Chains A and B, each alone.
Chain A
């Protein structure tokens, strides 16, 4: 009689929620304020700028994909991937970074270990609570290698005084993004000469990568299509999540980290600066890193015609393919695709066997689900645990699983007399799973006798009390395969349905902002899904509602006909329906007398009254706020799935898209409409009321049954109705049969 379902999870969510949501420790000592909430600017001020210390002959690479790396909890691990050229890998290198940690971290028993390519290169105590401390570690020769290198930071942090699970939330260490650098010694190390090494373009100090696109005439649809194709390929080849695109007139004047110049044009139009490539490009497709006098990393993609240029782009992915050996630079852990019935050991997900003497152990893992994953309402996956714990551990210790940030299962250890968990199955509702990449956190909260006593120094001195075997594994059921339309999550996570199409009609605004927005959007889809969409640029009047299409342009540029097909309304067209609009937000709860019942049902049995609707409310046009960026997907009555990326003005479209492609925001895109208002950090999501289901061909009865399970679970009254209709039919025929069989009444 284990508690592991939704109900239990909901109950736990309500109890854990406040704790998790509380980033600040409860410690009220005067220093705590300073260490707990570091101002974003602070690391920049306190860390001595390492760039200045480097000798002129040195060359440095930034590592961190964001503003900072944060290691939270008793055991934390963060890694990044850095791509190196042969020369860089062979050169003597130093790893520099700066540390800042919470005051409550006990320095004598807390340490940060740095590993490169599974080799531990240093362990440093975590003792920088008063200010950011620079750390410099010489990388032993032979550790770095050409291509992908995984740099991992593993923190073991223990509280100074407290032995409770709650106290572990106060433990953190931060590595400022611009402080983490690999510094190489030698001449001309920055040069990237081969396409294979394109990943070595890397990122700038904020973790961004920028494409400077040098193209003669981007008004030509063929040029636009080729450029759109190429930026996706470049995004994949660079192994970066997020690609900013700038249209540039001329080659860069100097080399900047994280910036790649891309010249894309027919051979005939190549300017003098790229003369070296002229001859070869005139002969056939060409994609090559071109040495430039300025030293800027420059990629030339050219050929006699635009067609050949598209083919030239393909060479990029041949030289720098998407493969498990070349992980995206912010995702060093393996990312296996888990099909129905698949299993994946923790080892295969990049989690090592672990011995643990703390109280809250967490580890992250990720896996990918296919675009037609459709089991988020009914299914459960299993974590089959092999673990052991010492006799110190008490019942009531708990194993929690979070999926994509939401608690999915909370399983208390009911018996701790055995000392082992052998093949212990933890059932995890797939409620928060989605097509594309999924993140999960395994957290083990340990209650122990000795922690209850909590002698001084015990937090570090306690013997190992929990061992997690990396043979533990995830097991997925044979889950339903179907795609719900509209669902932006499927697009942003899996490029569905467009990646499967031969060429997707794309209607672009007449301005450059629309083109740039489209390129960034397309590249972001590619880097999330690993797939490239082929576009066919068409005027918006030529779009056929029967076919899939994408539109990227300001709302004002949309023809009235097409505007009606986007699911977006202008403020005037949807005036007076504000109330209905409010209701469309997923989080909105009915007010009034029903809300009490509704909340009660939600809390006790996880029942959402919205699932009880017989006739879904119509999907009314969404009226975005001024300047807000909106992504909207609509399935046209004629069959085409249309996605629109728009904003009120062209600059807002450009700026909004640039913000949207930031990973946390990108992963929040869902529903039929997602909107990002200027100045907001949260994506507003409008879930679709009317959803159509596309099942994969050939149809299998088993899959249909599972699809029915998911669909019925969200359309509960239809399930009840189907059962009632079935029952009435069965009753009628039974009544009929009964008159035919058995002895007649006298």
Chain B
């Protein structure tokens, strides 16, 4: 069978199934059919059947969802004459249809995720291409940049074939000549310090006259001043592993039309939700779903897109687009869609090759997401992916999925407030009996859960998506409206990631979450009142009240997210096992071994005793770096803690870097082995199932509601209630 014929048959069978799905059978027939399909789906899921069985599960799910959509469209909308009911009813309907559309788009994207690309090496006779490594910076501090630059310099690649560039937008001429002398002075100081750092590390320092076109402009300035065949881009807080170039460069030799090799962003620290809910060590991170399966799915359709960092790009391809695109504030995705539409290809390598930091506070987390959401909306508005010429149909659908995703605040907020229309205003916005609701909506919700869990279960636990969506929606909704009002208005705001929460407190963005929680509580009270006062519609009231209680659970959990726990940064440790030597009090080198490292310090096991060292004493650690071009092997440290262990002790040491090379040693320790990171990720990537996941979520939600309310009592007087 050739391709065209197969597709024609597929269309024909789809049409038949669609006809069957839209037969307006009775409620009972739907219920029995739904129960049978759902049962089959559960069997497939419980037995963990794969391959065509997985596809069958998705097909069954699709059919139930389609039946729901059909019923929802034909039977549940309030009559248009009753506009008070109809308008909110239509809005709710559209929100649901959006969710169904997104479900199908994401189904398409991840229907057959690409397996991991095999690691390849350049052949011996192949020329080693030249690479420019760009590290754009705006306001990151010296230490962070030193770590990233050092890690970049440490990369395993012929010394003369790659150049590391610090693209400093924090000390442009304009900034150095800022009218405010204080700011001008600080920019000048930064300029000099970074120049010095680059010199020490063997990197190139580059800045420009004015901060035009934000990050894209900065990168384009880098392009203009360099000549390497390939360009690697790392955010200032994304330190590459040693093997980054080894893993990425050879792919370009296999495909002349390849413009991008993207790798995942791996984070060493938790995001605010993970930190405040204490799920970082056990639960897959939010971005793991995107990098773990969605990018792999996009890769199948040649639609893996540039994520701004941890990627290698072909200069020739960028040149056809006049460098990086800068119309939107998400230059990365915009550049990718432009190059894809010009026929260039991309691949995605599912192996963490950079370690980065993510926003620590809830406020900066929201700031980052605001930029992404607004940027994706700009792309949606400026170059609507579905009609973008040059893209293949799958690419169009993929980009549509990626950009439309960011409309999620709308339905999330609609779902939050929809029960209020009934509970408080007595509007009938969803005309169905409790029985119909059970037969159609309940099966739809369960099927949705099962599908999501079987698609994404390893990377996303049940209800966590809803929680992430909810905590973002409260503030993102306004941001989306602002883009809609003026698509050119949003400007690039750099996300701060090196903050720390020194004391426990409420986030400055916490207030709406408490207000919503209060409203939901009132709605629960209203539900109870209504059940008693209006027995003739108690069934419906209970259904709507149940929905409201789900919202309440979600909102209660979110209270925990905005209650910031105290935690300094840099405390996340990576286990390493490397030999080293520590200079004892007597000046002799004593054999020791690293236990774990973090960006701030290192734990050293002294198997044969403390060698006269103790807490509060400076010393030096010596080890053989993996990179052979650092030039030194000694690192000054300061002993902060001593833990007895059997015969020996473990020193908790803080780095005391004095020169640029010391940062390279730190980088050599932390970023040398990307295999570490993968192990850490896969330890968390376990599908815990719907039931366990739901119970766990309920537990978390209950506890976090209490903690959130506790924080309100302790810290809330000024921030939430007052003002």
In the complex, which of the residues A395, A605, A716 contacts B534, with contact meaning CB atoms closer than 8 Å?
A395
Q: A605-B435, A719-B29 are in contact. Are A1 and B428 (CB under 8 A)?
A: yes
Residue-wise interface mask of A (1-14) relative to B, using a CB-CB cutoff of 8 A (1 in contact, 0 not)? 11111111000000
Q: How far is the CB of B23 from chain A (nearest CB, A)?
A: 5
* B36 contacts chain A at the CB level, 8 A cutoff: yes
CA of A612 to CA of B111, assembled, Å: 34
Residue-wise interface mask of A (710-746) relative to B, using a CB-CB cutoff of 8 A (1 in contact, 0 not)? 0011001101101110111111111111101111011
Contact between chains at B79 and A745 (CB < 8 Å): no
CA of A736 to CA of B114, assembled, Å: 16
Contact between chains at B63 and A723 (CB < 8 Å): yes
| B29 partner residues in chain A, CB cutoff 8 A | 378, 611, 712-713, 716, 719
CA of A684 to CA of B21, assembled, Å: 38
* A708 contacts chain B at the CB level, 8 A cutoff: yes
| B37 partner residues in chain A, CB cutoff 8 A | 720, 723-724, 727
In chain A, positions 692-723 with a C-beta closer than 8 Å to chain B are 705-706, 708-709, 712-713, 716-717, 719-720, 722-723
Q: A730-B13, A731-B56 are in contact. Are A414 and B435 (CB under 8 A)?
A: no
* B324 contacts chain A at the CB level, 8 A cutoff: no
CA of A604 to CA of B28, assembled, Å: 10
A sample of 29 inter-chain contacts (CB < 8 A) reads A1-B543, A2-B433, A2-B540, A3-B540, A7-B433, A8-B539, A377-B26, A395-B534, A412-B537, A423-B79, A423-B82, A605-B435, A607-B28, A712-B23, A719-B23, A719-B33, A720-B33, A724-B60, A727-B17, A727-B37, A728-B56, A730-B14, A731-B56, A735-B52, A736-B10, A737-B7, A742-B301, A743-B302, A746-B114
Contact between chains at A733 and B10 (CB < 8 Å): yes
CA of A733 to CA of B55, assembled, Å: 11
Contact between chains at A5 and B6 (CB < 8 Å): no
CA of A705 to CA of B19, assembled, Å: 8
Q: A6-B435, A709-B23, A719-B29 are in contact. Are A396 and B536 (CB under 8 A)?
A: yes
Residue ID in chain A nearest B422 by CB atoms: A1
In the complex, which of the residues B3, B17, B25, B426 contacts A741, with contact meaning CB atoms closer than 8 Å?
B3
Contact between chains at B27 and A743 (CB < 8 Å): no
Residue-wise interface mask of B (3-39) relative to A, using a CB-CB cutoff of 8 A (1 in contact, 0 not)? 1001101100110110111111111110111001100
Q: A377-B26, A712-B25, A741-B3 are in contact. Are A1 and B536 (CB under 8 A)?
A: no
* A415 contacts chain B at the CB level, 8 A cutoff: yes
* Chain A: interface size category: 35 or more
Q: A1-B431, A395-B534 are in contact. Are A742 and B112 (CB under 8 A)?
A: yes
CA of A741 to CA of B114, assembled, Å: 13
| A425 partner residues in chain B, CB cutoff 8 A | 79
* A398 contacts chain B at the CB level, 8 A cutoff: yes
* A125 contacts chain B at the CB level, 8 A cutoff: no
Q: A378-B26, A727-B56 are in contact. Are A4 and B14 (CB under 8 A)?
A: no
| B299 partner residues in chain A, CB cutoff 8 A | 743
| B570 partner residues in chain A, CB cutoff 8 A | none
Contact between chains at B433 and A723 (CB < 8 Å): no
| B540 partner residues in chain A, CB cutoff 8 A | 1-3
In the complex, which of the residues A5, A7, A378, A746 contacts B25, with contact meaning CB atoms closer than 8 Å?
A378
* B713 contacts chain A at the CB level, 8 A cutoff: no
Q: How far is the CB of B312 from chain A (nearest CB, A)?
A: 17
Given contacts A604-B435, A745-B115, 14 further A-B contacts (CB under 8 A): A1-B430, A1-B432, A1-B537, A425-B79, A713-B25, A716-B25, A719-B23, A724-B40, A730-B14, A731-B56, A731-B59, A733-B6, A733-B13, A737-B10
Q: A3-B434, A713-B29, A740-B7 are in contact. Are A414 and B23 (CB under 8 A)?
A: no
* B535 contacts chain A at the CB level, 8 A cutoff: yes
* B633 contacts chain A at the CB level, 8 A cutoff: no
| B23 partner residues in chain A, CB cutoff 8 A | 705, 708-709, 712, 719
Of residues A1, A395, A611, which shows the largest number of chain B Cβ atoms within 10 Å of its Cβ? A1
* A606 contacts chain B at the CB level, 8 A cutoff: yes
| A745 partner residues in chain B, CB cutoff 8 A | 114-115
- A-B contacts counted at CB < 8 A amount to 188
Number of interface residues of B (CB under 8 A): 69
4 A-B pairs with the lowest CB-CB distances in the bound complex, closest first: A7-B435, A713-B26, A412-B536, A1-B540
Residue ID in chain B nearest A729 by CB atoms: B13
* B117 contacts chain A at the CB level, 8 A cutoff: yes
* A422 contacts chain B at the CB level, 8 A cutoff: yes
Q: How far is the CB of A343 from chain B (nearest CB, A)?
A: 15
Contact between chains at A736 and B79 (CB < 8 Å): no
Of residues A377, A378, A604, A727, which shows the largest number of chain B Cβ atoms within 10 Å of its Cβ? A727
In the complex, which of the residues B21, B33, B55, B63 contacts A734, with contact meaning CB atoms closer than 8 Å?
B55
* B1 contacts chain A at the CB level, 8 A cutoff: yes
Question: By DSSP majority rule, is chain A's interface helix, strand, loop, or mixed?
Answer: helix
CA of A65 to CA of B167, assembled, Å: 102
| A5 partner residues in chain B, CB cutoff 8 A | 27, 432-433, 435-436
CA of A731 to CA of B438, assembled, Å: 27
Question: By DSSP majority rule, is chain B's interface helix, strand, loop, or mixed?
Answer: helix
Residue ID in chain A nearest B432 by CB atoms: A1
Contact between chains at B33 and A8 (CB < 8 Å): no
| B13 partner residues in chain A, CB cutoff 8 A | 726, 729-730, 733
Contact between chains at A740 and B536 (CB < 8 Å): no
Residues of B within 8 A of A (CB): 1, 3, 6-7, 9-10, 13-14, 16-17, 19-29, 31-33, 36-37, 40, 52, 55-56, 59-60, 63, 79, 81-82, 111-112, 114-115, 117-118, 299-302, 394, 422, 426, 428-439, 534-537, 539-540, 543-544
Contact between chains at B544 and A415 (CB < 8 Å): no
| A422 partner residues in chain B, CB cutoff 8 A | 81
Contact between chains at A2 and B24 (CB < 8 Å): no
| A612 partner residues in chain B, CB cutoff 8 A | 32
| A414 partner residues in chain B, CB cutoff 8 A | 426, 428, 534, 536-537
CA of A424 to CA of B78, assembled, Å: 10
Q: How far is the CB of A378 from chain B (nearest CB, A)?
A: 5
CA of A706 to CA of B435, assembled, Å: 23
| B435 partner residues in chain A, CB cutoff 8 A | 5-8, 604-606
| A706 partner residues in chain B, CB cutoff 8 A | 24
Q: How far is the CB of B107 from chain A (nearest CB, A)?
A: 11
| B433 partner residues in chain A, CB cutoff 8 A | 1-5, 7-8
Residue-wise interface mask of A (588-610) relative to B, using a CB-CB cutoff of 8 A (1 in contact, 0 not)? 00000000000000001111100
Contact between chains at B431 and A611 (CB < 8 Å): no
Contact between chains at A709 and B24 (CB < 8 Å): yes
In chain A, positions 363-400 with a C-beta closer than 8 Å to chain B are 377-379, 395-396, 398
Q: How far is the CB of A481 from chain B (nearest CB, A)?
A: 15
| A728 partner residues in chain B, CB cutoff 8 A | 56, 59
Contact between chains at A2 and B428 (CB < 8 Å): yes
Q: A3-B433, A7-B434, A742-B112 are in contact. Are A726 and B16 (CB under 8 A)?
A: yes
Residue ID in chain B nearest A422 by CB atoms: B81
CA of A410 to CA of B55, assembled, Å: 43
| A743 partner residues in chain B, CB cutoff 8 A | 114, 299-302
CA of A555 to CA of B300, assembled, Å: 75
In the complex, which of the residues B3, B33, B81 contacts A716, with contact meaning CB atoms closer than 8 Å?
B33
CA of A651 to CA of B569, assembled, Å: 103
In the complex, which of the residues B20, B55, B429 contacts A735, with contact meaning CB atoms closer than 8 Å?
B55
| B117 partner residues in chain A, CB cutoff 8 A | 746
Contact between chains at B428 and A742 (CB < 8 Å): no
Contact between chains at B118 and A730 (CB < 8 Å): no
Q: How far is the CB of B255 from chain A (nearest CB, A)?
A: 11
CA of A605 to CA of B426, assembled, Å: 26
CA of A740 to CA of B10, assembled, Å: 12
Of residues A7, A608, A611, A738, which shows the largest number of chain B Cβ atoms within 10 Å of its Cβ? A7
CA of A1 to CA of B419, assembled, Å: 11
CA of A712 to CA of B19, assembled, Å: 13
Q: How far is the CB of B162 from chain A (nearest CB, A)?
A: 26
Q: How far is the CB of A247 from chain B (nearest CB, A)?
A: 49
Q: How far is the CB of B299 from chain A (nearest CB, A)?
A: 7
Q: How far is the CB of A67 from chain B (nearest CB, A)?
A: 39
CA of A545 to CA of B20, assembled, Å: 36
| B24 partner residues in chain A, CB cutoff 8 A | 378-379, 706, 709
